[in-house]
Amino acid sequence: MLNFKTKMALAVAASALVAAAPAMAQDTGATIGFIGGFTGPIESLTPPIFAGAELVVKQVNEQGGILGGELKIISADGACDATAAAAAADKLINTDSVTGIVGALCTGETIGAFNGSGLSGNVVFISPASSAPALTTLEDNDLVYRTTPSDALQGVKMADLLLAKGVQDIAITYVNNDYGKGFADALTAAYTAGGGTVAASVAHEEGKADYRAELGNLVASQNLVILAYANASGNTILRQAVESGNFTTYVGGDGMVGDDLLSGIDAAAVEGLIATRAGAPSGGAVDIYNAFASDGFVANATYAPQAYDAAFLLALAIEKNGSASRDGLSAALREVSSAPGEKILPGEWSKAVELIKAGTDIDYEGAGGALDFDAAGDVDGIIVELAVEGGTFVEKGEIK
């Protein structure tokens, strides 16, 4: 991993010295934004993700606040759509004057939001869920980060998993956007390199009521991989695939992991459905985070840990930067997320603030594991296997 501490320390210190004293004296705290698909194809996935970010705000304020004041979060609906996300970002950045943004969730949503107002507004974005490889090459002036690994990794791990299970041929249908195409390309490359055969690969458009024509072009294999969203085309395609009787094995990516996927489908017909998503390694940081689970918070919900990490890192960077200014925030983010430094674990906000005030380097280790951003703002990570058992998704463990 690249270490930016030496390279950026003087710049971070200079910006903090200029801004810290007025901000602390004014006791203004800070406001961050959240952009996610509260409506649209991932509407069932978004609330638990937002809850991860909200938990950070609650913990920060319970432990003394930020910059001597209160941390606030304002959410906006990006609808998993680039145009809607651009409007959401415009409001958060230019009307609500947020310091940074957790989000967006869908990759096209993140790119649309950032290109709409983020770049011109010099706003740091930390996405907990945008996994498409397209984000790696985005021209972003070092402002866009993500706490989930790229689908370049998830595609490889899905291929490894299927080949290890003896699945020698597959048919793929993917939603025709950055997420779907990027995932399908990564899966295809890794699967064929490992000796598997992609018998058919068909893009599909979101929002249709009937995908039987697309399914008719996928019958060359009985093993169907669906790279789509649980609330939308993923559910419709899976339901119509089951009705067709042409497939025996079903596989989905992270966008398919949600209880809504099985709505209107006989659970017995998809028993054993295989899925993948970003996971977390074992260790103290993960155990601490998982202990936050309660009746109102599902700690292991898809991308909830990554949202918690994104919000915690954003808050740490603001505190490190010494003000609610956007200037210098990206450099401060790299400072608090990488070694060397004293380890900060989930929930350890007051400890982190004391160390920052003392001038001590910190290194956050989060709910999703280590978060050492590379030059593109990407992180390493692990991918886990899930399976549908008794009508619900059950995590089976890391894909090695």
Strand 223-227 relative to strand 169-175, pairing: parallel
The tokens 């969203």 sit on which residue?
229
Q: Please check the confidence at residue 8 and state whether its pLDDT lies above 50.
A: no
pLDDT given for residue 17 in this prediction: 36
pLDDT given for residue 43 in this prediction: 93
Give me the residue spans of the domains in the chain.
Answer: 5-148+282-370, 153-271
What is the identity of the amino acid at 205?
E
Q: Minimal CA–CA distance to 321: which of 98, 8, 17, 96?
A: 17
Q: How many CB atoms lie within 10 A of CB 251?
A: 23
- Taking the C-alpha atoms of residue 337 and residue 288, their distance in angstroms, rounded to an integer, is 18
- Taking the C-alpha atoms of residue 361 and residue 342, their distance in angstroms, rounded to an integer, is 6
CATH superfamily of this structure's domain 153-271: Response regulator (3.40.50.2300)
Phi-psi region of 397 (alpha: psi -120 to 50; beta: other; left: phi over 0): left
| CATH architecture of structural domain 5-148+282-370 | 3-Layer(aba) Sandwich (3.40)
- Taking the C-alpha atoms of residue 220 and residue 267, their distance in angstroms, rounded to an integer, is 24
Q: Please check the confidence at residue 354 and state whether its pLDDT lies above 90.
A: yes
- What tokens were used for 11? 């710049």
- Taking the C-alpha atoms of residue 382 and residue 29, their distance in angstroms, rounded to an integer, is 35
Q: Considering the entire predicted model, what is its pTM?
A: 0.88
Contact between 135 and 110 under an 8 Å Cβ cutoff? The reply is yes
pLDDT given for residue 203 in this prediction: 98
The tokens 């080949």 sit on which residue?
163
pLDDT given for residue 282 in this prediction: 83
Fold match flag (5-148+282-370 vs 153-271) = yes
pLDDT given for residue 228 in this prediction: 97
pLDDT in tens, 94-149: 999 999 999 999 999 999 999 999 999 999 999 999 999 999 999 999 999 999 99
pLDDT in tens, 236-276: 999 999 999 999 999 999 999 988 899 999 999 999 999 99
